[in-house]
Amino acid sequence: LKTEVKEKATPKIFSENLLPDKFLEEEGRNLVRQFYLTLKTAKLYDENNSNSIKQQQIFTESLERVSRKLGLIELKAKRGYLHLNEQRLKFDFEGYTSSKYLMEQFKKFNLEVIIWDENVEEKELKHLIYFLVNLDYDEEESFEKLAQSLEEKGCVHIHLKKGEPEPEDEQVRSENDKKKVAKKTFFKAISVVQEIFSSTAQNKSVNLAKVKRVVQCLVDQILEDENNLIELTAIKNFDNYTYVHSANVCVLALAFGLRLDFPKNKLTELGFSALFHDIGKVKLPQDLITKPSHFDEFDWKQMRKHPLLGAKTLLGKKELDQSSIRSMVVALEHHLNLDLSGYPALKEKREQNLFSRIVSICDAFDAMTSGRVYMREALSPDEALKRMLFQRGQVYDASLLKIFIQMMGAYPVGTVVLLDSNEIGIVVQPNPQDLSHPKIKVIADNNGKRIDLEIEDLTETDPKTGKFKKNVIKTIDPQKYSLDISTYLLR
Ligand SMILES: [Fe+2]
Ligand SMILES: [Fe+2]
């Protein structure tokens, strides 16, 4: 029995018994990254190009480091994860692109495992790499072709194992599927808002159960994967501003509530009230809402009625449960300031509700960056945050605003930035640990040429100097360069 246990605990593939998991994890991530970079380089340059040779050397070194410790190197793709010698590799955002790319390659070649033994030679590696990048995407029997080609070229130190097609499983959803789900939930929310707003405008009853369901979907989605939803809120060029705005404010408020550790039911209530915060607008003349020119004093007078109209509308609903009451309060208070200035003027001064304070921050941010009602020209997301910071303590709750900025980053999603490498990027995710070094998609190289969308983490440092490899120099107005940021987000 003892022998059996021992054998199980120490896979034969390991040449040494005591292997720190950390080594496998770190080297595994590095190996995957180098494999990915080598394939990418091979796609651009032929095998005798100095870039290819250099990159392949780095990859070889990485393989050698692992094989010195482990002997055989086994890279396996199974159930949506990469494994190095049975150790599942976890990837952060930075390593995500490379692991995703490799997973796709494994899938394309119907590969489950690649094994390199310690005697693998340079020319064998080169052959593997160039075969992988040169085979046409849709070719049939790609695994057989690859195996045969390796055999013909005498690559005896590389072994392959064919995989079984994996069933699509909920947990194994690829990032693309995640995006699809996020989009579907988000667009569903917009259409439900549209529905409630138009039935409210016609004094018809509203299907509250439907609204709750959609909010619950958003809550589930935000708990599982908030980045895709937040990215969607950065796309502003939709036609139906009020509906999209309501959905945006709802998503931002939910992400906010998550940072305040709200339990699920409280999140749902917050989402519900955020979705309804502007419902009073349906009681205003439609041409006022869509007025393209600046508001005059009369327009503003009308517009300032929407919080009270919203609260009244919600009061008129049949079911007055906890969430309807909360949304009434939020509708009433979302244009009140922290110091109780703002509108409507309250006869009885009392502290602004926490939900209202949250929604007022999300609302202001979305409105300022959308460039509609309150701001004819859209502000860049970082500019909007700066303005809001300027008003902390009077308009916005200072500690809540701090949390919001922590959530959005100094350069929120959708900000177009110029880097000191002269590249141009779009922010796709903030780094909570370092707000001024977000994750970006590089969209133009240093010659201004549009390039493939690579995600880069600006917190990456140069190991030699310890300094950041790239920094944001300034933000760029996308309109000036006729950039439609929506085409770069969620791709
Ligand atoms: Fe409003
Ligand atoms: Fe609003």
pLDDT recorded at residue 92: 60
pLDDT recorded at residue 347: 83
Of the listed ligands, the closest to the CA of 244 is 2
pLDDT recorded at residue 11: 37
pLDDT recorded at residue 14: 36
pLDDT recorded at residue 20: 56
pLDDT in tens, 30-68: 899 999 999 988 888 888 889 899 999 999 999 998 888
- Ligand 1 geometric centre to CA of 321 (Å): 22
146 within 8 A of 135, measured Cβ to Cβ: yes
Angle between helices 208-224 and 175-201 (to 10 degrees): 150
- Ligand 1 geometric centre to CA of 201 (Å): 16
pLDDT recorded at residue 235: 83
pLDDT recorded at residue 171: 44
- Ligand 2 geometric centre to CA of 240 (Å): 13
Which residue in the block uniquely carries the two structure tokens 């502003």?
A: 236
- Ligand 1 geometric centre to CA of 316 (Å): 19
CA atoms in the 13 A half-sphere facing the CB of 249: 34
- Residue 242 sits at φ, ψ, to 5 deg, of -60, -40
- Ligand 2 geometric centre to CA of 277 (Å): 6
CA torsion through residues 325, 327, 328, 329, sign: positive
- Ligand 1 geometric centre to CA of 154 (Å): 70
Per-residue CA distances from 396 to 313, 331, 355, 410, 432 (Å): 26, 16, 12, 17, 21
DSSP state of 436: T
pLDDT recorded at residue 486: 75
- Ligand 1 geometric centre to CA of 179 (Å): 29
Q: How many residues does the chain have?
A: 491
Rounded (10°) CA dihedral 34, 118, 108, 487: 0
Q: What span, in angstroms and rounded, lies between the C-alpha atoms of 440 and 470? A: 11
Of the listed ligands, the closest to the CA of 243 is 2
Of the listed ligands, the closest to the CA of 311 is 1
- Ligand 2 geometric centre to CA of 463 (Å): 46
Per-residue CA distances from 273 to 124, 311, 356 (Å): 62, 11, 9
Of the listed ligands, the closest to the CA of 304 is 1
- Ligand 1 geometric centre to CA of 211 (Å): 19
Greatest extent of the chain over all pairs of C-alpha atoms, in Å = 88
- Ligand 2 geometric centre to CA of 42 (Å): 50
Q: What span, in angstroms and rounded, lies between the C-alpha atoms of 226 and 485? A: 19
Which residue in the block uniquely carries the two structure tokens 């790239």?
A: 470
- Ligand 1 geometric centre to CA of 332 (Å): 9
pLDDT recorded at residue 256: 95
- Ligand 2 geometric centre to CA of 245 (Å): 7
pLDDT recorded at residue 169: 53
Q: What stretches in the chain show pLDDT beneath 70?
A: 1-20, 91-97, 136-140, 165-174, 237-239, 318-319, 372-376, 452-453, 490-491
- Ligand 1 geometric centre to CA of 336 (Å): 10
| Pairs from 148-156 (Cβ < 8 Å, separation ≥ 24) | 150/124, 153/123, 153/124, 153/127, 154/124, 155/124, 155/127, 155/128, 156/124
Q: What is the pTM of this model?
A: 0.66
3-class secondary-structure state, position 45 = coil
Of the listed ligands, the closest to the CA of 245 is 2
Per-residue CA distances from 347 to 203, 344, 350, 359 (Å): 29, 9, 9, 22
pLDDT recorded at residue 237: 59
35 within 8 A of 82, measured Cβ to Cβ: no
CA torsion through residues 344, 349, 353, 357, sign: positive
pLDDT in tens, 368-386: 998 766 556 788 899 999 9
pLDDT recorded at residue 12: 36
